[in-house]
Structure 1
Amino acid sequence: MKQDHSYLGTLLQTAARKLFRQFESQTADHGLSAAQWRLLGHLLKQGPSTQIVLADLLEVEPISVSRLIDRMEQAGWLRREAHPDDRRARIIVATDKARATAPGVKAIAEALSAQALDGLTEDERRIFLTALRQVATNMDRMTAAPESAAHPEFEKTT
């Protein structure tokens, strides 16, 4: 029997939207959005980064991440510093405020993840997360492929 996978995108989007909405509700006192937390989490884990790397991480245009960084800098979450190797570039660095706030926000994120996976056994959680990573990998592969390879229906006929 053939399964209907046409709702996969809708289901993923709905789950993500609800998870992010709940995250933002629970972190409202900190004033952090899910996108801001993702950016800060990267900086805290990986260290200073360029705007281009952060745009790639968030899968947005550099101008969009620039606006996000502007807001986060004004709120005291990060700062721009001169790049040590490129006079034209700036690196983005997490502030002491971000480092002090991170453990509490991380605990919120972990609790939400646990709640989202509630009712699944450890094996089911592992399988689900492995499958979700594979879906993301498949989508990355499609994005990297030429348009006609990702969408055979768009191939030109001669």
Structure 2
Amino acid sequence: METLPFEIAETAHALRRAFDRRAATLGVTRAQWKVLFRVDRQPGLRQVELADILDVEPITLCRIVDRLEEAGLVERQRDPADRRAWRLEVTGQAAPLIAKLRALADDLMAEAFAGLSEPELELMRTKLTKIRNNLTANPQGRMTA
């Protein structure tokens, strides 16, 4: 049990690094593809919400979004409810890049999970979800009786 958290973290790290190498061939950094994927999945996110989801400082996210906006991949839209806030959308120009990134991700997942059956993958999903739920249900890390 002692090494299991380390193994989970190392596996996640290996997946990120493998995807980073592949995404770099398209000229995209990890920070950029994370923003593109999330905004594509959740259009209209406020920048502050996205920074929280990605666990980065708002100023860091602002710089990433600046670069993506300059490249024509993301656009900021004023939040009608709060003039100080920006909502993010991917542009039509981003669609081909996102499709290529998704194809890279699909290929990587097929490679990474080769030899695992669908029931094994579903069991893994279930167990990982249970771990995440345990942690979010007890965010202060207090021991329960």
Structure 1 and Structure 2 fold alike (TM over 0.5)? yes
Q: Which residue of 2 aligns with 1:69?
A: 65
Q: How many residues align?
A: 143
CA spacing shift, 1:131–1:90, aligned 2, 3 Å: same
Q: RMSD in angstroms over aligned alpha carbons?
A: 1.9
Percent identical: 33
- Helix, strand or coil for the counterpart of 1:42? helix
Higher strand share: 2
Q: Aligned partners of 2:32, 2:126: CA distance in 1, in Å?
A: 25
Instruction: Provide the C-alpha distance between the structure 1 equivalents of 2:66 and 2:3, rounded to a whole number of angstroms.
Output: 36
Name the counterpart of 1:99: 95
Contact 1:35–1:58 (CA<8 Å) still a contact in 2? no
Instruction: Give the alignment's TM-score, normalised by structure 2.
Output: 0.85
Distance 2:3 2:62 in 1: 33
Query: Aligned AA for 1:118?
Result: A
Instruction: Tell me the equivalent position of 1:89.
Output: 85
Q: Which has the higher contact order (CA 8 A, sep 6+)?
A: 2
Task: Name the CA distance, whole Å, in 2 between partners of 1:142 and 1:40.
Answer: 30
Structure 1, unpaired ranges of 5+? 153-158
Match of 2:25 among 26, 29, 46: 29
Aligned equivalent of 1:108: 104
Q: Secondary structure at the residue paired with 1:89? A: strand
TM-score, normalised relative to structure 1: 0.79
Cα drift, residue 107 of structure 1: 1.1
Which residue matches 1:6? 2
Flag structure 2 segments of 5+ consecutive residues without an equivalent. none
The answer to whether 1:42 aligns with 2:41 is: no
Instruction: Tell me if structure 2 keeps the 8 A contact 1:48–1:94.
Output: no
Which contiguous aligned blocks of 4+ residues in structure 1 show a shift greater than 4 angstroms? none
Structure whose CA Rg is larger: 1
